[in-house]
Amino acid sequence: MAMKSFLPCVLLLAACPDPEPPCEPKPVIRGPWTTGLHARQAEVRWETAEEGCGGLRFGADATENWAASLSSSTHAIVRTIEVGTGVLDPPDLPGTSYQHRVTISNLEPNRCFSYQISQTSRSHKGRFCTAAETTDETTVFAVIGDTNPVLGHTELLYGPMAAARPQAILHLGDIQYYASIIETWAAWFERTKGLLAIAPILPVVGNHEFEAVGGPVSEEDSDPTEYTEYFLPLWGDHGHPHLGNNYSVRNAGILYIFADSETDDGLAIWDQPGTDWLAQTLTTAEATAGHSFSVLMFHRPVYTRSKYSAGLGRRNQLEQMLAGHKVPLIMTGHAHCYERFDVNGRTVIVSGGGGAIPHRCDREHEDPVLSAELASMQQTTFSGYHWVKLSQTSAGLAGEAIAEDGTILDRWEVRP
């Protein structure tokens, strides 16, 4: 593994002296976690309540043969939200925190690494992986949607997901629910810590990402404080090509597209700038040597037998947008269940069973023609908690839907 241009040793290695004032490490209050999935670089983030220095060391996965030590950059984040005081420990409180970021460069593709950060006397360990560049390499992803850890079922899924050792966790939206009354981001981090230590979360934006204290952003004059104070600082600035909340990630011959189905700022895929971005992204990918196909992920489903569909108009719009493009797999969340549809040879997955209260997904719609059509396309359904293991090989993609008790609910494959 080639290593170039690393900063001098500043923290953590045995041969390094302890940092001297005014550089004083402070305790971690959120994280650490990694963002994005790149072939030759990675970024680790964490937050402290007080300003101070920080850093990490990293090396090959599952070893402590540290290859290099790097210092973090920090910037202040001011949050105004107060949720959970007197109800949930820990609550979200207003105030300033300091986010540390370390960018690690010159990595080899399709490799996994261990890292360790140290703030005061407590160390924090984690793992990150790089994307594959060649199609003969195997990658494992974990896919989950609509996580609500405080209710208890999300955490039961985290253990098997972590045991699968995925290179990344693909999240289909609604990461955290203020609407469940007893959820906070502070509690989310406490309960998700073990999963964050395994792999980065790559999320699509869901409707609950836009909650505000007092109402969702869809209400007139409401303020999307959760989005600006938590979602963007935690998951934004990931370094992937993007338009607003739309971005794409390449892993060998497959392009994973994380699309925005929710915002009303004109950049969602239903609006012209978003539609144009998706068309250009697909066209560029299909002109790239070695490209097999693209996977499209967004939050609100257009195919579902729940009552949570984006509607027939969106479905028709999406079919027009994808016409002529190689997109054999669509994955969505929002409906708290598992569904698989075969839509003219295209596999469509609904996976919103990540911990929020389950929904029924065998509903008969008022329109008998539409109801019969959806029923004929629906291959299987499950109302309960689950996640999806996604394995990318030279042959394509293989998916397994796995219930919280470990039962395999469904298996499917997508090939070029």
Together in a domain, 158 and 116: no
Whole domain around residue 118: which residue ranges? 28-127
The conformation of residue 279, written as its DSSP 8-state character, comes to: H
Q: Let me know: does 327 contact 282? Beta carbons within 8 Å.
A: yes
Reported confidence tier of residue 281, pLDDT bands at 50, 70, 90: very high
Residue at 65 is within a domain = yes
C-alpha distance from residue 150 to each of 185, 188, 389 (Å): 10, 7, 23
The mean per-residue pLDDT over the stretch 15-28 comes to: 60
Same domain assignment for residues 123 and 143: no
Instruction: Band the pLDDT of 231: cuts 50, 70, 90.
Output: very high
Classify strands 95-104 and 73-79 as parallel, antiparallel or unpaired. Answer: antiparallel
Q: For residues 212 and 330, state if they share a domain.
A: yes
Q: Is residue 13 part of a domain?
A: no
Q: Mean pLDDT check: name the lowest of 2-16, 131-145, 306-320, 357-371.
A: 2-16
In a domain, 17, yes or no: no
pTM for this prediction: 0.92
pLDDT of residue 213: 67
311 shares its domain with 184: yes
pLDDT value for 85? 87
pLDDT of residue 131 exceeding 50: yes
Q: Average pLDDT of the chain?
A: 90
What average pLDDT score do residues 156-182 get?
Answer: 93
Distance separating alpha carbons of residues 208 and 88, to the nearest angstrom: 19
How many domains does the chain divide into? Answer: 2
pLDDT of residue 135: 84
CA 245 to chain CA centroid, nearest Å: 12
Say if 1 falls within a structural domain: no
pLDDT at 6 > cutoff 50: no
* 343-388 tens-digit pLDDT: 999 999 999 999 999 999 998 888 888 899 999 999 999 999 999 9
Model confidence at 87: pLDDT above 70: yes
Q: Which of helix, strand or coil describes residue 349?
A: strand
Say how many Å lie between the first and final Cα of the chain, rounded: 32
- What is the DSSP-derived secondary structure letter of residue 51? -
Q: What is the mean pLDDT of residues 68-77?
A: 93
| Helix-, strand-, coil-residue percentages of the chain, each rounded to 5 | 20, 35, 45
CATH at 385: 3.60.21.10
